[in-house]
Amino acid sequence: MGIFEASGHGYRRQTCVTMLFFAILFGFLTLPAQAAETFWACLIYASDAGQGSSLPQRLSGYDARMSSAFGYSRFCLMAQRQTPLQAQKEAGLVFSDDLKIVLTSLTGASDGKYLIKLLFVEGEQPIIETQARVSRGSPLFIRGPNWRDGQIIIVVMVAA
Amino acid sequence: MKPFEEKFTAWLDGELSAEEARSFENDYPSAQEQKAQFLKLKRLLRQGLESRVLEYPDFFNAQIMAQIGRESFPRRFLRRGWLGLPRIAWGGICVSGLGLAMFVALIPHGDLSDPRSGYVADVLKTKTRDPNVKATVDNKKDMTIIKIEGLQKLPADKDLNR
């Protein structure tokens, strides 16, 4: 009889361990959905000179809309930067030594969106300060200064 | 022709005819000694396995059945145990439901075939520090643009690839 009781306890323990294993496995499977966010930005030169565009992968599918919105036919990626987001810490991305995009604040909303505060700095001079509500993967376009025969477009995004 | 084993067994049991028995004994003289050992063993077995009459057969049977009932672990365990079969089934349903709920809650929704389907970029406030610079916001359905006007043109030789 003792043997049977011991077997019963062993069976319960085995079942609990199995359930725990599946719970941990499920937790690991859902981890990719909670991947850490990064603050990403890029500098794009918009012009009518030349042919073809070279947009970054994160903006694939936007070329037609950008043509319509900015009035240029060609978009050339000049540089892109990204940095992992950390709570309560500013995240700054610098282009060409003196163009700077700073994420001064990021707050997660209950609907999965983010409330962000951005600062665009040229040299040492802050140009604009913006507060926006964005979702992950949604680019925010800033039509910047003119350059050569076209214009500089800055794109920022909270990305995975 | 009968094989030896069959003939030997029939001889032991006395089933051979007198003529066949005589012929068998002539062919296998040692069979008599083996038969004597067989009969001795048979006698001993009968003495040792005599049936005993129990004094209280009903009580004995009841004790045996109670013991079997207590030790029939798997059936009792599955019927009434803490993790009986119904509870395991309910546990499985609950765990599956919990998994589904976590999947719905944690995995992002939306049409994954269209990367712009969940586009949200609403500019709430924009402020310029330079009075000569003006910022306007163009909020479209799936493209939000902040247009800055009044900025000085960047030098043509400026290296923007860095």
Nearest to B81 by CA among A34, A11, A48: A11
Quick check: B160 pLDDT over 90? no
Which residue out of A128, A157, A158 would a mutagenesis test of the B interface target, given it has the greatest number of B Cβ atoms within 10 Å?
A128
- Give the pLDDT confidence score for residue B75 in this predicted structure: 57
For A12-26, A134-148, B14-28, which range has the lowest pLDDT when averaged over its residues?
A12-26
- Give the pLDDT confidence score for residue B144 in this predicted structure: 94
Tell me how far apart the alpha carbons of residues A108 and A111 are, in angstroms, rounded to a whole number: 8
Let me know how long chain A is.
160
- Give the pLDDT confidence score for residue B55 in this predicted structure: 80
Those residues with Cβ within 8 angstroms of residue B28's Cβ, 6 or more apart along the chain or in another chain:
B8
User: A-chain residues within 8 Å CB-CB of B161?
Assistant: 78-79, 96
Amino acid letter, residue A73? S
User: B-chain residues within 8 Å CB-CB of A12?
Assistant: 82-83
Give the number of other Cβ atoms within 10 Å of residue A127's Cβ.
22
Tell me how far apart the alpha carbons of residues A132 and B146 are, in angstroms, rounded to a whole number: 11
Partner-chain contact A129 B127, CB within 8 Å: yes
φ/ψ of B129, rounded to 5, equals -90, -30
Min Cα separation B161/chain A (Å):
5
Of these ranges, A25-34, A67-76, B39-48, B100-109, the one predicted with the greatest mean pLDDT is A67-76
Min Cα separation A90/chain B (Å):
19
Of A65, A133, A144, the CB nearest to B143: A65
List the beta strands (DSSP E) in chain B: 121-128, 134-139, 144-149
For the stretch B124-158, pLDDT in tens is 999 998 888 999 999 887 899 999 999 889 989 88
Summary mean pLDDT of chain B: 83
Average pLDDT over residues B24-53: 85
Structural contact between residues A132 and B127, judged by C-beta atoms closer than 8 angstroms:
no
Average pLDDT over residues A55-80: 92
> What pTM, to 2 d.p., does this model score?
0.57
Partner-chain contact B127 A148, CB within 8 Å: no
For the stretch A84-114, pLDDT in tens is 988 778 889 999 888 999 999 888 888 888 9
Report residue B161 CA to chain centroid gap.
Answer: 60
Cβ contacts below 8 Å, chain A against chain B, sum to 151
Partner-chain contact B71 A1, CB within 8 Å: yes
Min Cα separation B147/chain A (Å):
5
Residue of A nearest to B84 (CA): A12
Residue of B nearest to A8 (CA): B77
Residue of B nearest to A78 (CA): B161
Tell me how far apart the alpha carbons of residues B133 and B148 are, in angstroms, rounded to a whole number: 7
Partner-chain contact B123 A127, CB within 8 Å: no
Average pLDDT over residues B105-117: 60
- Which ipTM value was assigned to this complex? 0.79
Tokens of B85: 């079969």
